[in-house]
């Protein structure tokens, strides 16, 4: 089993290096390495983060070629049901995000994968002239390029985009993967036009699933690929630090998160192979069940395991 190189970590919200160990984890989903990692709750601000962090040289190890997000459409894994469900849920959100973008506008999707979000933008807002993406996976990025999108293969800090260019920058399920979330938010602020908006979705520890399964099994740990797990307060602090005003913070349906949680539990408990295979993100019965559970959660406590934040660049 591979042992990857790691480095010490500190809190990305306040910079403190102290706190309590919430959980000790291994890579249950992809089994890419044998290392153990701690989830630390910062003693100063309450932010949760992974420690130690995989060294940047190990990214291609912890994101293997069969990584699900790189095989959604046009890839080896075909068109995944969970992502077709996600597209349907996202369509109304995209229409809302793009309704104020004028003719000739520009949109950037950070972590665009095969370009599914950009597909939705093109459908919802035909007047958008520039549809750009950033993607670390050459395999996924090339599929997006084949759809006609302009895709930079690499990391956000290295993106050569011009300042004051974009009306909307989206980061869906990306900021939790970053070594330097604050620095990347600063970069996004530079890329956006004054009055432009950033749209971020990310797992949050302020949810029922974390309270129930956060000791070991919570699917959104996604160890060792999720480096940061935010609260609304912590993410808002980073955004306001770099000149954003928070427009809204809410939560969204994320049924696949529940499924991964139970899949993790079954693997740890060494359940029969057939049962582990049954509990997967392509199971329509489970997707429907956990969608209903998330809908009830939204209607009652107004929270799920995934939050969405919209913020506006002020200057």
| Residue pLDDT, tens place only, 138-184 | 989 999 999 999 999 999 999 999 999 999 999 999 999 999 999 99
- Is the pLDDT confidence value at 87 over 80? no
Residue 169: CATH number of its domain: 3.40.50.150
Q: Which of 77-86, 117-126, 176-185 has the lowest mean pLDDT?
A: 77-86
Q: Could you give the CA distance from residue 163 to residue 194 in angstroms, rounded to a whole number?
A: 10
Q: Answer whether residue 252 shows pLDDT above 50.
A: yes
Taking the CA atoms of the chain, what radius of gyration do you get in angstroms?
19
Q: Scan for tokens 């004028």, then name that residue.
A: 102
Q: Please, are residues 258 and 209 in contact by the beta-carbon 8 Å criterion? A: yes
Assigned domain for 28 exists = no
Residue burial 3-21, b: 16+ Cβ < 10 Å; e: rest: ebebeebbbbbeeeeebee
More confident call, 240 vs 70: 240
Pairing of strands 130-135, 192-203: unpaired
Interval 103-127 mean pLDDT:
93
251 three-class SS:
strand
For residue 173, what pLDDT is reported? 95
Other Cβ atoms closer than 10 A to 218? 29
Tell me which residue of 301, 286, 188 sits closest to 235, measured CA to CA. 188
Residue position matching structure tokens 């602020």: 189
Residue 20 lies in a domain: no
Return the exposure string of 272-311: e unless at least 16 CB atoms fall within 10 Å of the residue's CB, then b: eeeebeebbbebeebbeebbebbeebeeeeebbbbbbbbb
Number of separate domains in the chain:
1
Residue 52 in domain = no
- The answer to the question of residue 145 being in a domain is yes
pLDDT, tens digit, 9 for 90 and up, residues 45-68: 999 999 999 999 999 999 998 888
DSSP 123: H
Helix (H, G, I), strand (E, B) or coil at 135: strand
Residues 232-258: what's their mean pLDDT?
Answer: 95
Kindly give, in sequence order, each residue whose CB lies less than 8 Å from that of residue 279, ignoring residues fewer than 6 positions away. 259, 262, 263, 266, 286
Instruction: Assign 3-class secondary structure to 49-91.
Output: EEECEECHHHHHHHCCCCCHHHCCCCCCCCCCHHHHHHHHHHH
Burial of 108 (0-12, 13-18, 19+ CB in 10 A): buried
| Pairing state between β 306-313 and 244-252 | antiparallel
The position carrying tokens 């797990």 is: 229
> Does residue 67 have a cis peptide bond before it, meaning omega lies within 30 degrees of 0?
no
Query: What was the pLDDT predicted at 85?
Result: 67
Residue 107 has pLDDT above 80, yes or no: yes
Coil vs helix vs strand at 252: strand
Residue 92 binned pLDDT confidence (cut-offs 50, 70, 90): confident
pLDDT of residue 73: 57
The answer as to whether 88 is a domain residue is yes
Q: Which of 78-87, 174-183, 252-261 has the lowest mean pLDDT?
A: 78-87
Mean pLDDT of 210-239: 96
Residue 227 lies in a domain: yes
Q: Which domain holds residue 95?
A: 78-313
| Token pair listed for 242 | 């770099």
The closest alpha carbon to 144, from 74, 64, 69, 66, belongs to 74
Banded pLDDT at 1 (limits 50, 70, 90): confident
In a domain, 85, yes or no: yes
Domain-located, residue 89: yes
* Total-model pTM: 0.93
CA-nearest of 306, 310, 111 to 203 is 306
Residue bearing tokens 């597909």: 119
């Amino acid at each position: 089993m591979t042992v990857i190189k790691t480095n010490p970590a500190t809190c990305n919200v306040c910079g403190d290096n102290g706190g309590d160990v919430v959980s000790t984890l291994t890579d249950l989903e992809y089994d890419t390495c044998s290392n153990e990692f701690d989830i630390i709750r910062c003693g100063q601000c309450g932010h949760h983060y992974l420690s130690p962090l995989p060294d940047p040289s190990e990214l291609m190890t912890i994101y293997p070629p069969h990584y699900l997000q790189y095989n959604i459409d046009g890839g080896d894994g075909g068109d995944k049901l969970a992502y077709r469900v996600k597209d349907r849920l996202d369509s109304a959100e995209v229409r809302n995000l793009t309704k104020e973008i004028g003719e000739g506008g520009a949109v950037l999707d950070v972590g665009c994968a095969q370009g599914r979000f950009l597909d939705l933008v093109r459908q919802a807002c035909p007047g958008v002239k520039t549809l750009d993406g950033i993607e670390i996976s050459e395999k996924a990025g090339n599929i997006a390029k084949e759809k006609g999108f302009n895709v930079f293969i690499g990391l956000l800090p290295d993106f050569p985009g011009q300042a004051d260019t974009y009306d909307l920058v989206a980061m869906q399920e990306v900021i939790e993967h970053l070594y330097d979330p604050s620095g990347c938010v600063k970069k996004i602020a530079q890329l956006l036009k004054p009055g432009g908006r950033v749209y971020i979705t990310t797992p949050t520890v302020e949810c029922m699933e974390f309270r129930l399964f956060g000791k070991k099994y919570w699917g959104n740990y996604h160890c060792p690929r999720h480096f940061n797990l935010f609260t609304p307060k912590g993410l808002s602090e980073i955004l306001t630090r770099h000149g954003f005003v928070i427009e809204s913070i809410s939560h969204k349906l994320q049924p696949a998160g529940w499924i991964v949680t139970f899949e993790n539990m079954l693997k740890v408990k060494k359940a029969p192979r057939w049962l582990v295979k049954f509990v997967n993100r392509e199971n329509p019965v489970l997707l429907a069940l956990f969608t209903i559970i998330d809908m009830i959660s939204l209607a009652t406590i107004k929270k799920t395991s995934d939050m969405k934040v919209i913020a506006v660049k002020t200057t």
